[in-house]
């Protein structure tokens, strides 16, 4: 089969592009309305296809939700793996971890994660996603602990701080849209400034 020197997308590439487009639309609607208030008919209409056509890519709404949530966790995993490969202080790595996580979420548009959404999924899917969150949380806590030991940040409860950071980043998916006046990089920079420096005036 002719490949046209890569200038023309293959059938598999076209299928993946359509699938990713569907995920972006579904994630946006799930984030705006919630899983239970969203129908496959509504998602298909927003995409501009029939519900039957949507079944070609996803067998049901549950799988669509899983793929949207997995995309979110993929962003966290990518940020973690990139950070693990870096050198630098714990604070520098912590900053990179959350900066990249925010950038990737803003670009990829995964679904906002809640326990209510995760509990909709089959048990094995639930365990998979929760394990991925625990991996990211453990890494975040480790960096926070190291940053305290290095004297870069004040003594804190690393469990609560990590949950606060992860929850705040997750919430971005509820309010940040592709048409936002701020770019993904700008949101990341502003968000990290708030997370690391807070809002009080330094004396």
115, pLDDT greater than 60:
yes
What pLDDT score does 6 carry?
58
5, pLDDT greater than 60:
no
10, pLDDT greater than 80:
no
What pLDDT score does 34 carry?
87
The stretch 111-121 carries a mean pLDDT of: 84
The stretch 153-166 carries a mean pLDDT of: 94
1, pLDDT greater than 50:
no
Angle at 103 between CA 70 and CA 108, to 5 degrees: 40
145, pLDDT greater than 50:
yes
How far is residue 66's CA from residue 172's CA, in Å, rounded to a whole number?
A: 19
Task: Outline where the chain has alpha helix (H).
Answer: 11-33, 40-47, 51-54, 61-84, 90-108, 115-118, 123-149, 158-175, 184-197
Reported as a single tens digit per residue, the pLDDT across 164-203 is: 999 988 888 778 776 777 888 888 898 888 888 887 776 6
For the CA atoms of 140, 144, 147, 153, the dihedral, rounded to the nearest 10 degrees, stands at: 130
How far is residue 111's CA from residue 170's CA, in Å, rounded to a whole number?
A: 9
Residue 34: strand, helix, or coil: coil
Q: Is the pTM of this model over 0.75?
A: yes
The stretch 3-20 carries a mean pLDDT of: 72
| Least confident stretch, 76-85, 117-126, 153-162, 174-183 | 174-183
| Least confident stretch, 5-14, 46-55, 148-157 | 5-14
pLDDT-derived band at 134 (thresholds 50, 70, 90) equals: very high
Reported as a single tens digit per residue, the pLDDT across 57-82 is: 888 999 999 998 998 999 999 999 99
> pLDDT: is 31 or 125 the higher one?
125
pLDDT-derived band at 130 (thresholds 50, 70, 90) equals: very high
142, pLDDT greater than 60:
yes
């Amino acid at each position: 089969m002719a490949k046209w020197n890569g200038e023309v997308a293959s059938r598999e590439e076209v299928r993946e592009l359509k699938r990713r487009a569907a995920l972006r639309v579904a994630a946006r609607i799930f984030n705006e309305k919630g899983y239970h208030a969203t129908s496959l008919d509504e998602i298909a209409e927003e995409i501009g296809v029939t519900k039957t056509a949507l079944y070609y890519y996803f067998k049901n709404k549950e799988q669509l939700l899983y793929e949207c949530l997995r995309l979110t966790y993929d962003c966290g995993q990518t940020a973690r793996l990139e950070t693990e490969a870096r050198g630098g202080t714990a604070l520098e790595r912590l900053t990179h971890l959350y900066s990249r996580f925010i950038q990737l979420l803003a670009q990829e548009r995964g679904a906002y994660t809640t326990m209510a959404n995760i509990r909709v999924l089959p048990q094995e899917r639930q365990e998979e996603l929760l394990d991925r969150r625990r991996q990211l949380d453990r890494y975040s806590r480790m960096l926070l602990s190291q940053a305290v030991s290095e004297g870069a940040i004040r003594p804190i409860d690393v469990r609560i701080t990590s949950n606060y950071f992860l929850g705040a980043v997750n919430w971005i998916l509820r309010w940040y849209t592709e048409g936002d006046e701020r770019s993904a990089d700008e949101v990341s920079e502003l968000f990290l400034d708030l997370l690391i420096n807070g809002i009080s005036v330094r004396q």
